[in-house]
Amino acid sequence: MKNVRLINCDLKASEVALGCMRIDGMADAEVSRLIHTALDAGINFFDHADVYGGGRCEAKFAEALGMNAGLRERMIVQTKVGIRKGSFDFSKEHILAAVDGSLKRLQTDYLDVLLLHRPDALVEPEEVAEAFTTLQDSGKVRWFGVSNQNPMQIELLRRYVEQPIIFNQLQLSVTNTAMIDAGINVNMQNPPSVDHDGSILDYCRLHDITIQPWSPFLYGFFEGVFLDNPKFPELNAKIDELAAKHGVANTTIAIAWLLRHPAHMQPIVGTTNAQRVKDSARASDVTLTREEWYEIYIAAGNKLP
């Protein structure tokens, strides 16, 4: 497993990460097998959020593994805070309290990475800055990032926050390519030319912020998996063709498509299937050609201008 290129920090993070949003309903033995499968495949980065399962996912992760110092040192643990029932909350008070709750559930003294979970319309960046500094100085959080934020929202934070923003978690998959479409259809009047994200892809590249694509196998907003889905016959035919050519699974090709992008992204794979974890990890060793990348992009229904 290769490491993702992280310029602003000293983390040696695997190129593919495992998301833990769906583990709360699994048996402890299943969770343990899933995480150890990831570790054995070279995945050392695990993504959480305090709202996943109402906190049960974080707790299940630690309990199922029998968290201990030796195991913890093999992992990079990331969680997200800021979503509350019916609102978002980036206040200093909430960030600090939420981190303490996550630390307790994860049975650890520190988080490697903390992300602000989606934008808070009432954010006061001065409070975020105070919270980040308090967390860093106390040793509770090493590095920081955001999720689903556009360039101006990040710029607002950067004006006050001393710590570098190293990650931005954004929805991106073969069937959710809006941030790529807008860059291809510049100076056009067709629907893909509409930039909904403020050129966030290029912004992150310019500022050495690693994009973490979430839901890399889903289409729409949690509408279902596109792999082996009869709704996407041309896309699956092309993915299957390339999977056979490279001697890997279709899952591998879907992740390799994201890794081929020169932004050096780190896909967050949210599967609970151990075999799919292995297949996702193999994508680190598959480099699609430029022609193959575009063939998949077009097979997903996109058109070049």
Place of tokens 């291809």: 184
Residue 227 tokens, joined = 């792999």
Q: How big is the chain by its Cα radius of gyration, in Å?
A: 19
For β-strands 17-19 and 83-84, DSSP reports them as: unpaired
Distance in angstroms (rounded) separating the CA atoms of residues 249 and 95 = 40
Cβ pair 57, 88 in contact under 8 A = no
DSSP state of 222: T
12 pairs with which residues across the strands?
none
What pLDDT score does 50 carry?
98
Closest CA to 4 of 200, 145, 187, 182: 145
Cβ pair 162, 129 in contact under 8 A = yes
Task: Compute φ and ψ for 204, nearest 5 degrees.
Answer: -65, -40
What pLDDT score does 222 carry?
80
Model pTM score: 0.97
Say how many CA atoms lie within 13 Å of 29 toward its Cβ: 0
Question: Residue 137 contacts by C-beta under 8 Å, 6 or more apart in sequence?
Answer: none
Q: Is 294 a catalytic residue?
A: no
CATH 3.10.28.10 fits 17-231+264-284, yes or no: no
Distance in angstroms (rounded) separating the CA atoms of residues 139 and 20 = 24
Which residue ranges in the chain fall short of pLDDT 50? none
From the list 52, 203, 219, 297, the catalytic residue is 52
What pLDDT score does 223 carry?
87
